[in-house]
């Protein structure tokens, strides 16, 4: 019988964070249980804290199976896979890991954008396949002087804007409210911003509030020379329309870190040479994952000590 406080770990996490949790707490791993019902029945009388990841999240039924639950600590800033409304309605706090991942995610957005515009993966293949020996690669579009529209000017959106400014771009954003302090052009209408933009970058939260926000009409307005970059969530874009428009040439190209049914990526997207695909790696650097882990540990520690959470959602 452990004397450490119990926590339930819903899914696998960054290794060192998982190890540190196990050192400090009596960690029960739901994802390793063969009989989930028996596991939940055994931990339910005691479990007040659950730790999960942004991709695994925590559904209402799992919270209901843990009636003593008081905190869901999320490894990740996006909490769209957690039923936050249910948690709050039932007195369960939720924490996440903002700020520490902002710069890495913004870096990846720019990498995907440059990769798509300057055709970097295609250039890599061109060299490896020996095509260069037969002649030079075709010219590409330029990143310079592009009009970039950011969907969601939050922490990551602002960091993306800062980077884009270094490429002499014109910037605008779309979101629920105008942010005059940003000094950037605001569009209250996403289709209008897409029509104005050469590049559209999604950096808003996922979940029901933004499902399909980047719709067929938005992508059509972006047009045949337009580039769409998604580092937000796959649910934010109509993926079927995205695939269809990229295939027909009605949309220029895309750089995608996130997909609707990860790790499944539509075969239609995989078949397209002019799309850069990446396996949800926005925050996946050693330093950032370690910093996210520290935030999870700090929030759990604060809760057990009766202090306010550091990153309440
Ligand atoms: P944040 O600071 O909360 O920013 C989110 C922004 O989106 C806010 O400015 C918000 O506007 C805006 N927004 C909310 N609803 C919107 C809507 N319907 N349409 C357009 N904009 C909307 O969060 P963050 O730290 O920048 O993170 C943003 C998202 O990035 C996360 O939720 C997550 O899904 C994603 N993410 C992805 C990765 C990856 O690995 N690819 C890593 C980390 C995060 P207001 O400010 O007006 O509320």
- If you compute the radius of gyration of the chain from its CA atoms, what whole number of angstroms results? 22
Q: Does position 1 have pLDDT exceeding 80, yes or no? A: no
- Mean pLDDT confidence for 147-160: 98
For a pocket test of ligand 1, which of 204, 259, 278 has the largest count of ligand atoms closer than 8 A to its C-beta?
204
What percent of the chain stands above pLDDT 90?
99
Ligand 1 mutation target, pool 82, 94, 152, most atoms within 8 A of CB: 152
Regarding the beta carbon of 111 and ligand 1, being less than 6 Å apart is answered: no
pLDDT at 64: 98
CA 232 to ligand 1 center in whole angstroms: 7
Indicate the CATH number of 102-277 among 3.40.30.10, 3.30.460.80, 3.40.50.300, 3.40.50.720: 3.40.50.720
Instruction: Tell if the pTM clears 0.95, that is, is over it.
Output: yes
The pLDDT-based confidence of 2 (bands split at 50, 70, 90) is confident
Atom of ligand 1 nearest to the CA of 282: 40
Is 233 an active-site residue?
yes
Ligand 1 pocket member 234 (CB < 6 A): no
Strands (E), 168-306: 170-174, 185-187, 199-202, 227-230, 253-256, 275-277
Based on the residue annotation, tell me whether 286 is a catalytic residue of this protein.
Answer: no
pLDDT tens digit sequence for 207-226:
999 999 999 999 999 999 99
Tell me the CATH class for 6-99+287-305: alpha beta
Round the average pLDDT of the chain to a whole number and report it: 98
Q: Clarify whether 260 is annotated catalytic.
A: no
Q: Is pLDDT above 90 for 118?
A: yes
Most ligand 1 atoms within 8 A of CB, residue of 156, 187, 276 to mutate: 156
| Ramachandran category for residue 302: left, alpha or beta (phi over 0 → left; psi -120 to 50 → alpha) | alpha
Which residues of the chain are in CATH 3.40.50.720 domains? Answer: 6-99+287-305, 102-277
Over 90: is that where the pLDDT of 236 sits?
yes
Confidence at 252, pLDDT banded by 50, 70, 90 = very high
Mean pLDDT of 123-145: 98
CA–centroid distance, residue 258 to ligand 1 (Å): 14
pLDDT average, residue stretch 268-287: 98
CA of 72 to the centre of ligand 1 (A): 20
End-to-end CA distance of the chain: 33
Specify the pLDDT at position 297. Answer: 98
Question: Where does the pLDDT of residue 233 fall: very low under 50, low under 70, confident under 90, or very high at 90 and above?
Answer: very high
Q: Which of 56, 233, 278, 289 is catalytic?
A: 233
Q: In angstroms, rounded to a whole number, what is the distance separating the alpha carbons of residues 162 and 155?
A: 11
Residue nearest to atom 27 of ligand 1 (CA): 156
């Amino acid at each position: 019988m452990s004397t450490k406080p119990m926590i339930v770990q819903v899914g696998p996490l960054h290794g060192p964070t998982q190890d540190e949790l196990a050192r400090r707490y009596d960690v029960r791993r739901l994802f390793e249980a063969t009989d989930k019902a028996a596991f939940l029945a055994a931990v339910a009388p005691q479990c007040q804290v659950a730790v999960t990841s942004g991709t695994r999240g925590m559904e209402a039924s799992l919270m209901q199976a843990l009636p003593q639950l008081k905190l869901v600590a999320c490894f990740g800033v996006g909490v769209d896979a957690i039923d936050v409304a249910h948690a709050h309605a039932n007195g369960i706090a939720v924490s996440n890991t903002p700020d520490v991942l902002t710069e890495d995610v913004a870096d990846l957005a720019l990498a995907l954008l440059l990769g798509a515009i300057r055709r970097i993966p295609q250039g890599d293949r061109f060299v490896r396949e020996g095509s260069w020996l037969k002649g030079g690669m075709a010219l590409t579009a330029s990143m310079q002087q592009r009009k970039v529209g950011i969907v969601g000017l939050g922490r990551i959106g602002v960091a993306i804007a800062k980077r884009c400014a270094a490429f002499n771009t014109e910037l605008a954003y779309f979101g629920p409210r105008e942010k005059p302090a940003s000094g950037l052009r605001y569009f209250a209408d996403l289709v209008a911003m897409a029509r104005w933009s050469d590049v559209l970058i999604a950096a808003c939260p996922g979940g029901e509030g933004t499902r399909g926000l980047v719709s067929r009409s938005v992508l059509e307005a972006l047009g045949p020379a337009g580039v769409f970059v998604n580092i937000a969530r796959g649910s934010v874009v109509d993926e079927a329309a995205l695939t269809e428009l990229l295939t027909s040439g009605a949309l220029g190209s895309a750089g995608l870190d996130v997909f609707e049914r990860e790790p499944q990526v539509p075969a239609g997207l995989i078949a397209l040479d002019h799309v850069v695909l990446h396996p949800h790696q926005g925050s996946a650097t050693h330093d950032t994952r370690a910093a996210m882990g520290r935030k999870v540990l700090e929030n759990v520690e604060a809760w057990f000590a009766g202090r306010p959470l550091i990153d309440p959602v």
